[in-house]
C-alpha cells in the first residue's frame, strides 16, 4: 500500500455557509452540499455484537464466530428448520430519484439438494416485501428477487453460482432510476426503470432492513462476513 494522502484541514461535504461547513470530516447526516439531502448508512462487519438482529426458527441462533475481519454464523435449530435473522429496525427505502446501495459477503456450508437461502433487504419480520440475492431449492443459480405484497419477481438470474463453503460478494446500486447489479466489482446486469409501489409492482416502497435466511436439509449454516445498506434521504 502506498502512503496515504493527508488532508490536514479535513474533508467536508457541506458548503461553508452552513452549520457544518467547517466540520473537518464528511457530515454524517447531510451530503451534496445540501441541508435537505442526507445519507443513512448501516455497515456491519460482525466484530462486536449481533444484538440488533432478531432470529426466527425454533432453537436457531445468530452468533459471532472466529474469522478474519469478523463473521457471524446463522445456525438453524433443526435439520429442516427455516431460519432467518433480520435487523430489528428498518432503514432503507426505494424512492424514485434517491440512491440506495446494498452489498454483502456470505457463504453457505452446503448448497446441494433442496437447501435454499437468501441475503438482502426485507420489511423486518414480514416476508411480504423485500429484495434479496437468493438460491432456490434444487438449484445453485443466484438470482436477484423482488417481493412485493407476497408476490415474488425474479429481476436477474445467473448472477453467480453457489458452491459449498465458498464466499459470494454481491450487491446492487439503485441510482434513483435503474438497479445496477454486481458480482464483486463487476456489473453483471442492469434493471431499467423498475416501478415502485405498495403492491403488484416491481419494487416495494416499504422501509427495509438487512436480512439473512436459510432453509437447511441437514446441519447447514449460513455465514456472513459483512453487510452494507445505505440510502439517500430527503429530509
Each residue's pLDDT tens digit, 205-216: 999 999 999 999
Predicted confidence at residue 1, as pLDDT, reads: 80
Torsion of CA 74, 78, 82, 86, to 10 degrees: -30
CATH topology of domain 40-234: Jelly Rolls (2.60.120)
Confidence at 137, pLDDT banded by 50, 70, 90: very high
Domain residue ranges in the chain: 1-35, 40-234
| Model pTM score | 0.94
Integer Cα distance of 28 and 171 in angstroms: 23
* Banded model confidence at residue 32, pLDDT cuts 50, 70, 90: low
The predicted model gives 98-115 an average pLDDT of: 97
pLDDT for 93 beyond 70: yes
Q: Mean pLDDT across the stretch 169-186?
A: 98
Look at the chain and count its residues. 235
DSSP string, 160-211: EE--TT--EEEEEEE-SS-EEEEETTEEEEEE-S--EESSSSSEE-S-BEEE
Of 11-15, 29-33, 104-108, where does mean pLDDT reach its minimum? 29-33
Chain mean pLDDT for the chain = 94
The predicted model gives 24-29 an average pLDDT of 84
Mean local confidence (pLDDT), 178-202: 95
Is the model more confident about 29 or about 62? 62
Q: What is the pLDDT of residue 34?
A: 63
Amino acid at each position: 500500500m502506498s502512503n496515504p494522502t493527508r488532508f490536514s484541514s479535513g474533508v467536508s461535504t457541506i458548503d461553508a455557509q452552513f452549520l457544518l461547513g467547517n466540520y473537518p470530516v464528511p457530515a454524517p447526516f447531510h451530503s451534496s452540499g445540501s441541508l435537505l439531502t442526507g445519507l443513512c448508512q448501516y455497515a456491519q462487519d460482525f466484530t462486536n455484537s449481533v444484538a440488533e438482529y432478531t432470529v426466527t426458527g425454533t432453537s436457531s441462533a445468530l452468533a459471532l464466530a472466529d474469522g478474519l475481519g469478523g463473521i457471524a454464523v446463522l445456525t438453524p435449530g433443526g435439520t429442516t428448520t427455516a431460519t432467518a435473522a433480520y435487523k430489528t429496525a428498518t432503514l432503507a427505502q426505494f424512492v424514485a430519484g434517491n440512491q440506495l446501495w446494498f452489498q454483502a459477503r456470505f457463504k453457505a456450508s452446503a448448497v446441494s439438494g433442496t437447501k435454499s437461502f437468501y441475503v438482502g433487504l426485507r420489511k423486518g419480520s414480514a416476508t411480504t416485501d423485500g429484495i434479496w440475492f437468493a438460491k432456490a431449492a434444487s438449484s445453485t443459480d443466484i438470482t436477484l428477487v423482488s417481493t412485493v405484497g407476497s408476490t415474488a419477481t425474479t429481476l436477474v438470474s445467473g448472477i453467480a453460482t453457489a458452491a459449498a463453503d465458498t464466499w459470494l460478494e454481491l450487491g446492487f446500486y439503485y441510482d434513483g432510476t435503474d438497479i445496477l447489479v454486481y458480482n464483486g466489482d463487476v456489473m453483471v446486469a442492469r434493471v431499467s426503470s423498475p416501478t415502485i409501489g405498495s403492491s403488484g409492482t416491481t419494487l416495494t416502497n416499504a422501509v427495509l432492513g438487512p436480512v439473512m435466511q436459510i432453509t437447511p436439509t441437514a446441519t447447514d449454516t449460513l455465514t456472513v462476513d459483512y453487510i452494507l445498506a445505505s440510502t439517500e434521504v430527503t429530509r
